[in-house]
Amino acid sequence: MDAGLLLPQPDLLGDRRLVVVSHRQPYAHVRHGKSAAVQVEKPPSGLTLALEPIVVATHGTWIAASGGNADAEFTDARGYVRDPPPDSPYRLRRLTLPPSLREDFYTGFANSSLWPLCHIAYHQPRFEEKWWRAYQAVNEIFAQAVAEEIGGEPATVFIQDFHLALAPQMVRARCPRALIAQFWHIPWPNPEAFRICPWRRELLEGMLGNDLLGFHLSYHGMNFMETLDRELAVRIDREHNLVSRPGAAGGLTKIGAFPISVDAQAIIASVTTIAAQQSVRELRERYARGRQLVLTVERMDYSKGIRERLEAIQRLFERHPQWRDRVSFVQIATPSRTDVRAYRDYAAEVDHLVAEINRRWGVRDWKPVLPLHQYVEPRQVWNWYLAADALIVSSLHDGMNLVAKEFAAAARDDAVLLLSEYTGAAREFREAVLLNPYAIDDFADKIAAGLEMPLEQRRERLRRLRWRVLQYDIGAWAADILRALRQHYFDNHGSAFPENSGGGMA
């Protein structure tokens, strides 16, 4: 990200130092093979790109769980990275989670309870007492690390995602002068869905430790406030989206909508290099060979609707025979959460369906579906976007979906985006071909319509999509959240000016 986007605005944080807290670390030290050199690896996350420049500029700290197999060699006894890499020059504190907690926290409560609970994808969440206890314990570990980092300082603490729902309240109890914000990267369900969670009140109370709580959509924020209304004795000011925290005198949590985005400039800069153009030519020669190339990119996750999409591909060949042998579906699906049984079973089902489609519809040297079930380098993912004639996002439920936004930045002007209406991105991307992944016949017809769309219409739609993603990129997202946090602070800490007091909730 262009650091210039954020740094000329010193008032975003005032003189507060920033502490970013996330389960996943911004970079890992990894050794592939015993005698290999150690590499610094960054996850393919726009979040790291957005937040790193602010942490650097404010001399801040990032606190995250250790994950790389060579992390310990570069970390001191308290978990601080000794010599941060030149492109990440800030303090990173790595927390080593006890092995006894790690699985129950991550594989258990985070990915087998909270993830399915928040995504209405008809996948039943499971709740185990010991997972919940591990979740509480890990949240305590993070909160304690924040307290060690900032003590009584008036710092800004920015917590990420559903792994750390309890941490805000725990940080508040330890650091009363901290300003705390959290961004919830996944949907928030309606109260009926959420009420099956045995520890729903504890989760809600934890999240009310925040001064600011951000979701992608105001719809998720409204669901959250409805849930609060049902479950806790709180007062809600719906006009200003403010919730008064139970037991905290004058404590208010502001709920806001901040649709996350991508680093569109960086993606465009990368795909316009000569090396990228060459790679795109190779990809098309190898995988399209005169046919239409339709791409999908996602983690191997049931919420992404991979099974439904494969069924729609079968239906496409049945209902629109003109497309047999004329289109290749390249399926990049990175293995994900393979410790969770539901994910392993899902991956096996997907493999089975792909084989069945290829057996039934493949001819001579052509197979309709090409599964690339492996990790692909970020720049190569962007090259694939540029090589594609169309991209399908088939999520059954998705907070935002960054793949759609990355595609809008990278794709050719005449490419087509087919987007599930159950993604957050569908709210902004009106020019995409919207589809319902549950309606298999209609889904198949939409694929055909997308492939047959007149050239002028494709161009106009794609240009508008690109404009949208350039207007509101990941830098704008991060700046918006910090600005809202500061504004909320000013609105509710006016005690220095008694003649103007009386704001907040009546």
Residue 322 CB-density burial (10 A; 0-12 exposed, 13-18 middle, 19+ buried): exposed
d(CA 261, CA 265): 12
Q: Does 332 bind ligand GDG (CB under 6 A)?
A: yes
Q: Which is nearer to ligand GDG, 399 or 475 (CB)?
A: 399
> Can you read off the two tokens belonging to residue 332?
């990049």
Q: Does 378 bind ligand GDG (CB under 6 A)?
A: yes
Q: Does 411 bind ligand GDG (CB under 6 A)?
A: no
d(CA 494, CA 506): 16
Q: How many residues bind ligand GDG (CB under 6 A)?
A: 21
Q: Does 490 bind ligand GDG (CB under 6 A)?
A: no
Which range in 80-88, 168-176, 341-349, 394-402 contacts ligand GDG by CB under 6 A? 394-402
Q: Does 297 bind ligand GDG (CB under 6 A)?
A: yes
Q: Does 114 bind ligand GDG (CB under 6 A)?
A: no
Q: Which of 30, 70, 222, 376 binds ligand GDG (CB under 6 A)?
A: 376
Q: Which of 399, 437, 450, 475 binds ligand GDG (CB under 6 A)?
A: 399
d(CA 485, CA 214): 10
C-alpha angle with apex 131: 127 to 133, nearest 5 degrees?
115
Q: Which of 400, 409, 415, 485 binds ligand GDG (CB under 6 A)?
A: 400
Q: Does 185 bind ligand GDG (CB under 6 A)?
A: yes
Residues 6+ apart with CB under 8 A from 188: 118, 194, 215, 220, 221, 223, 224, 227
Q: Which is nearer to ligand GDG, 58 or 111 (CB)?
A: 111
Q: Which is nearer to ligand GDG, 376 or 440 (CB)?
A: 376
Task: Find residue 183's DSSP bridge partners.
Answer: 160, 214
Q: Does 299 bind ligand GDG (CB under 6 A)?
A: yes
Q: Which of 223, 227, 299 minimizes the C-alpha distance to 257?
A: 223
Whole-angstrom CA distances from 131 to 97, 107, 139, 195, 328 are: 14, 9, 12, 18, 42
Q: Which is nearer to ligand GDG, 312 or 400 (CB)?
A: 400
Q: Which is nearer to ligand GDG, 75 or 423 (CB)?
A: 423
CA 157 to chain centre: 19
Which range in 53-61, 67-75, 397-405, 473-481 contacts ligand GDG by CB under 6 A? 397-405
Task: Find residue 398's DSSP bridge partners.
Answer: 423
Chain residues binding ligand GDG by CB under 6 A are: 44, 185-186, 260, 297-299, 332, 334, 375-378, 381, 398-403, 406
